[in-house]
């Protein structure tokens, strides 16, 4: 089994209200100078056939209309 | 007209949908594991949190046996209505254009809104959702507007979630699949303030007759 990690993030240009909310909260906690926060998700998995991970991402893990994904095999 | 209302684990509006459908025909529930729709004339994919909305709202429900049957039913021209989570499921299944994202203000919204239908009629129908911001790239938005696929818009100033071009509901190109975020099934009895939702069910029943 091959271990892999899939990073999924909102596509460039799509408003990410979660990222905005995190960004707005930071100065109140004393973290100045942090910007362009984007919140996505990470999926860890083990696959028999890592060649098929792209298809798996296209069909289920990400919605290609709104999200980009990146597969990292470990 | 006989309506089938899908029920997934996590659906929560199927009872109101059944009630609304029964005012515009007969209605029965279809469990998500059913591969056979049982000869119904129209299908409602109701609101709720199908499969817990894990991963993305509607992402897992689209792979259910009942949704495979709905995709075939829709391809054959059968009328399909997706409400709220049902709209999300239909978008994820590729039966409708676009996607529904987290509300712009991150808050769950629950209130009555005014909608403007494609023919200009105004309807008062409630919304209740946290992920209802309709999104599609500009070229797809242009295309669905040109094709007359925008079925409902929020009235000016009433967009509750940041939806692109105030879009509240869209159809597929053929016009037999309709999805919307507001809940017409909650607006069928004067007790709850508006019966405008019933017009949508009756209109679809007329379409299927």
The alpha-carbon radius of gyration of chain B (Å, integer) is 15
Catalytic residues of B, by residue number, are: 84, 183, 185
User: Is pLDDT above 70 for B199?
Assistant: yes
Which of B107, B135, B164, B170 is the best residue to mutate to test the A interface, defined by the most A CB atoms within 10 Å of its own CB?
Answer: B135
Domain with B136 in it: what CATH number? 3.40.50.880
Domain with A24 in it: what CATH number? 3.30.1280.10
pTM of the model: 0.94
Containing domain of residue B112, as a range? 2-208
Query: How many structural domains compose chain A?
Result: 1
Backbone angles phi, psi at A66, to 5 degrees: -125, -10
Terminal C-alpha separation, chain B = 7
Query: How many structural domains compose chain B?
Result: 1
Rounded to an integer, what distance in angstroms lies between the CA atom of residue B120 and that of residue B206? Answer: 19
Using a CB-CB cut-off of 8 Å, the residues of chain A touching B131 are none
Half-sphere exposure of B194 (CA within 13 A, CB side): 21
pLDDT in tens, B148-176: 999 999 999 999 999 999 999 999 999 99
Rounded to an integer, what distance in angstroms lies between the CA atom of residue B115 and that of residue B152? Answer: 6
| pLDDT lower than 70: segments of chain A | none
Using a CB-CB cut-off of 8 Å, the residues of chain A touching B95 are none
Residue B208 pLDDT grade (very low, low, confident, very high; cuts 50, 70, 90):
low
pLDDT in tens, B124-157: 999 999 999 999 999 999 999 999 999 999 999 9
Containing domain of residue A13, as a range? 2-73
């Amino acid at each position: 089994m091959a271990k892999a990690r899939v990073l999924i993030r909102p596509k460039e240009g799509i408003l990410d209200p979660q990222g905005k909310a995190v960004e707005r909260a930071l100065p109140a906690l004393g973290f100045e100078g942090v910007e362009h926060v984007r919140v996505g998700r990470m999926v860890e998995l083990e696959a028999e056939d890592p060649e098929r991970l792209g298809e798996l991402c296209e069909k289920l893990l990400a919605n290609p209309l709104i999200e980009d994904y990146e597969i990292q095999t470990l | 007209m006989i309506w089938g209302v899908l029920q997934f684990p996590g659906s929560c509006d199927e009872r109101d949908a059944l009630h609304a459908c029964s005012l515009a025909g007969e209605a029965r529930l279809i469990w998500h594991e059913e591969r056979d729709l049982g000869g119904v004339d129209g299908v409602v994919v109701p609101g709720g949190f199908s499969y817990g909305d894990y991963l993305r709202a509607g992402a897992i429900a689209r792979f259910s046996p009942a949704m495979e049957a709905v995709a075939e039913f829709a391809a054959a021209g059968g009328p399909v209505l997706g409400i709220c989570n049902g709209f999300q499921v239909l978008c994820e299944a590729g039966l409708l254009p676009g996607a529904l994202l987290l509300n712009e203000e991150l808050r769950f919204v629950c209130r009555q809104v005014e909608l403007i239908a494609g023919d200009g009629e105004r309807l008062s129908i409630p919304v209740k959702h946290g992920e209802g911001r309709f999104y599609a790239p500009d070229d797809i938005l242009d295309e669905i507007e040109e094709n007359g696929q925008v079925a409902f818009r929020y009235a000016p100033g009433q967009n509750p979630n940041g939806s692109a071009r105030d879009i509240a509901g869209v159809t597929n190109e053929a016009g037999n699949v309709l999805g919307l975020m507001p809940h017409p099934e909650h607006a069928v009895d004067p007790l709850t303030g508006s019966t405008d939702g019933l017009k949508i069910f009756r209109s679809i029943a007329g379409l299927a007759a």
